[in-house]
Chain A
Amino acid sequence: MADNLSSNGQLAGGKRTFWGYRRPDGSVGVRNHVLILPTIVCATQTAQRVTELVQGTVTFIHQHGCAQVGVDYEQTFRTYAGMASNPNVYGVIVLGLGCETHQARSVASEVKKTGKPVEVISIQDHGGTLYTIAEAAKAAARMVQDASRERRVECDFAELIVGTECGGSDACSGLSANPAVGFCSDLIVDHGGTSILAETTELIGAEHLLARRAVNDQVAKRVYEVIGAMEKRAFAMNVDIRTGNPSPGNIKGGLSSLEEKSLGAANKSGSRPLQELIDYAQKPTAKGLVWMDTPGHDIEQLTGMVAGGSQIVLFTTGRGTPTGSPIAPVIKIATNTSIFEKMDDNIDLNAGTIIDGTETIESVGNRIFEEIIEVCSGKLTKAEILKQHDFGIWRIGPTF
C-alpha cells in the first residue's frame, strides 16, 4: 500500500482512491470478468453452457441481433460493443451464429480497440453447438487463467463513471434515497468522477429544473429535445402514459402522476451543473454530471449505462427489486426501512432512516459514497452474490 494512503483509502490532500484493475487502454475496472458475448439470440443458449463449464465467465440472455436496420441496428451494436469494452471486463469471447445482421466479427473489431483480449467463435463455422461449446470453453478457460493473474492497483476516484437509477419507486424515493444519491452524486463530481443521470421518461415534468443547470445553451436545448421525443412516443400510442408509468406498484406506493415521479427522480442528480447529454449506451466524454437518454425501464436503463462505461451503479428502490448487471456491481438503496428489512436478500443500504428521522440526507449520502469505494475495491453487492445478471436493450425500431 502506498505510504501516502491512509487505511480508509484517502490520499493526502483529500483525494480518494480505490483498488481497481488497470486495463490496456488506461481505463480502470472494478471487476475482472471474462464475458461470453452472444451477439445474436441464436447463440445465447450456447453462451450459457460455456459459463456453466468455466468459472469466472459471465454472459446474458437477450433476443436481439438479427433483422435490425438503421439507428436501431446501430444502438444494439453500440450496446454489445459497450458491454464488452466496459473496463470491468478483462477479455471477451464473442459468440455468433454466422448469418445474422450483427456480425460477431464487426463487434469484435470494435472491442479490440480497447486492447483487451478478444476471440470470435461462430456456431456455423465450428460445425454446430457442441463443437462451439468446446471451442469457446477452451478459449474461455485460457482467458480466465490469464485474468486471474491481474492484480488490483490503487486508482484515483476520478476514474469512476457511476450510473444512478431508481426503480420500483414509492413516495419516499423523492424524500430519502434519491436526495441521498443526489448528495452522493455531488461528492462523485467533486472528487473528479462522472455521475450519470438517466431515465428520460422519468424526467418528464422536471426538465426545466435540469435545463437551468446545463453548462451551455446547446445542452439545455438537448434536454428539451430528448424530453420532447420521449413524450411524442407516448402521444403516438394514443394513451395516457400513466397506463404504463407510473407503474401499478408506484401508484400503490403513493405516486399519482409521471410528473410527481419525475420530480422525485430528478433529485438523484444532486446540484452540480449538467455537462452533456449523451445517447443510449454512449460513453460520456465529460467528467461531472452527465445525462444519458434512456427509457425509464429499469433493465434497459441499467444496460445503457453499463454499456456506456459505468463500472458501478447506484439503484434506489421503494417497492424492492432484485436488479443486477452481469458485469457491474449494483448497490441497491431502500427508500424506506420496511422494504429494507423485508427484502434483505436484495438491498444493500437503507436510506429509510431519513424517513424514520434517525439520519440526515447528508449522512446517508456519505455512507453511499463510502460504499462505492468499498464495492469498487472488491466488496460484493447482494445482486452479484445472487448472480442477478439482468440485461435488456432499448430497441428503437421494429424487427424485420
Chain B
Amino acid sequence: MKTYPTVMMKPQDTVAVALTNIPAGTRLTVACQDRLFNVELLEPIEFGHKFAVVPMEAGTDIMKYGEVIGAAVRAIRAGEHVHVHNLEGKRGRGDQLGGQSQQ
C-alpha cells in the first residue's frame, strides 16, 4: 500500500499537513507524541495543505503548532480539507467592526 507523508506539529493540534499530494479516500495514520489518529481523507489534499484529524463544531478554535490558527466557520468532519473556505482568522478583523473604527 502506498504511504503518504504528513506532519502533525503538536499533540493538541486538530489539523495535520500533507507533505505530498494525497488522493481522496486515502486512509492515513497520523501520530504526534502520545496521540494517534486514523483518518480517511474525504477530499484530495494538496502538498502543504491541512486536513482535520478530529471532527470540529462550528465556532471552535482550530489548533496547529499547539496554538490557535483561527476558528471553524462551520462544522468540519475528520478528513476534510481545512482552509479559507471553512477556517476564518480571528486577528486583524477590521471587517467585523461595522465601520466604527474609522476616525
Give A residues with C-beta under 8 Å from B. 170-172, 174-175, 204-206, 209, 231-232, 234-242, 245, 251, 253-254, 256-260, 263-264, 318, 336, 355, 357
Contact = CB atoms under 8 A, between A and B. Distances in A.
B91 A241 contact: yes
B48 interface: yes
Interface in B20-65: 46-50, 64-65
Nearest to B46: A254
Given A258-B91, A263-B64, A175 B17 contact: yes
B86 to A, nearest CB: 9
Contacts of B70: 256-257, 259-260
A238 B102 contact: yes
A235 B17 CA distance: 30
Contacts of B88: 240, 242, 257
B90 to A, nearest CB: 7
Given A205-B68, A238-B94, A240-B94, 15 more contacts: A204-B91, A204-B92, A235-B92, A238-B95, A240-B93, A242-B84, A242-B88, A242-B89, A254-B50, A256-B83, A257-B87, A257-B91, A259-B67, A263-B65, A336-B47
B17 A240 contact: no
Interface residues of B, number: 34
A259 B103 contact: no
25 contacts: A171-B48, A172-B48, A204-B91, A205-B68, A205-B69, A209-B67, A235-B93, A235-B94, A235-B101, A239-B95, A240-B93, A241-B93, A242-B89, A254-B17, A254-B46, A254-B47, A256-B83, A257-B89, A257-B90, A258-B92, A259-B68, A260-B70, A263-B65, A318-B48, A357-B5
